[in-house]
Amino acid sequence: MSNIIEIRNLEKIYGMGRNALRVLNGIDLDIGQGEVVSIVGASGAGKSTLLHCIGCLDTFQRGSLSINGRELSGFNVEELSGFRNRTMGFIFQANNLLPEFTALENVMIPLLIRRMNKKRAKVEALKVIERFDLSDRLDHKPAEMSGGECQRIAVARAIVGKPALILADEPTGSLDSKNSEILIDILFDLGRENNSTIVIVSHDPLIAAKTKRTVHIADGKIVDKKEAVEVL
Ligand SMILES: Nc1ncnc2c1ncn2[C@@H]1O[C@H](COP(=O)(O)OP(=O)(O)O)[C@@H](O)[C@H]1O
Ligand SMILES: [Mg+2]
């Protein structure tokens, strides 16, 4: 199995001088293509920061990060956004759907950015929305759907382009346990079908229990499970 993510000695510092805060403190992490990995750790440990660095949504000061064999530090902003669109789907805790667009349009957007024609994009979006059992909500805007429905549409949007890598930051943080389980089960099923790698940050022990591998973070470092329990 080749690695889709290779991180060496990653350091991320927020602020400067006396206000400098070292949030990632030498992260080394390899994740193989097709792996499903949960990242757990106390609030403030650096989980979101790490996920944002992997997802090209944030920059870092030291170390190296390569995705799909491409070292990211050499990319300019346009190259990064193109690479992100082709390679990754990101799921946030808040669904971040575009409020003025319908559910169907929100799911089509990543495909249209890739310049897929509209007809094909619609077919692909409809297929994924059906898997999330939301075919009767196509014309609804986010304000006209429940929190659980919006989050399922957000996951459909992240996965519709069959990205090699799906990054999810507490995707069920605002859902009840029934909606959480529905969402995670469909996400993991679709990920497996596409051989996508999934990296999921979660507080929910049920989600960590569904992944084969769990990475523990404490104070900006990867720690083994025993140390992580002591820190918590
Ligand atoms: N934009 C920012 N500026 C300064 N500090 C930040 C910023 N974002 C996060 N932090 C700090 O970095 C640390 C790690 O944050 P985060 O990665 O969000 O943690 P987690 O997701 O594990 O709860 C926290 O102490 C947080 O306050
Ligand atoms: Mg976080």
Residues 152 and 115: beta-carbon distance below 8 Å: no
**Spacing, Cα 110 to ligand 1 middle (Å):** 28
Can you tell me the distance from the alpha carbon of 181 to that of 206, in angstroms, rounded to the nearest whole number? 9
Can you tell me the distance from the alpha carbon of 214 to that of 219, in angstroms, rounded to the nearest whole number? 17
Residue pointed to by tokens 């069959």: 162
Ligand nearest to the CA of 53: 1
Question: Atom 13 of ligand 1 has which residue's CA nearest to it?
Answer: 44
The list of the chain residues with pLDDT below 50 reads none
At 163, which amino acid appears?
P
Which tokens is 19 given?
């206000």
Atom of ligand 1 nearest to the CA of 49: 17
**Spacing, Cα 86 to ligand 2 middle (Å):** 24
Atom of ligand 1 nearest to the CA of 43: 23
Is 21 strand, coil or helix? Answer: strand
pLDDT score recorded for residue 229: 56
Q: Probe ligand 1: pick from 14, 18, 201, max atoms within 8 Å of CB?
A: 14
pLDDT score recorded for residue 129: 97
Strands across the sheet with 88-91, in order? 88-91, 165-169, 197-201, 36-40, 213-218, 221-223
Q: Which residues form the pocket of ligand 1, taking CB atoms under 6 Å from any ligand atom?
A: 14-15, 21, 23, 41, 43-49
Backbone angles phi, psi at 162, to 5 degrees: 50, 55
Q: Which CATH architecture has domain 35-60+76-231?
A: 3-Layer(aba) Sandwich (3.40)
**Spacing, Cα 189 to ligand 2 middle (Å):** 24
pLDDT score recorded for residue 108: 98
Residues 53 and 90: beta-carbon distance below 8 Å: no
Residues linked to residue 14 through DSSP beta bridges, in sequence order: 21
Can you tell me the distance from the alpha carbon of 215 to that of 59, in angstroms, rounded to the nearest whole number? 21
pLDDT score recorded for residue 228: 58
Q: Probe ligand 1: pick from 10, 21, 58, 217, max atoms within 8 Å of CB?
A: 21
CA distances from 47 to 9, 38, 39 (A): 15, 10, 7
**Spacing, Cα 49 to ligand 1 middle (Å):** 6
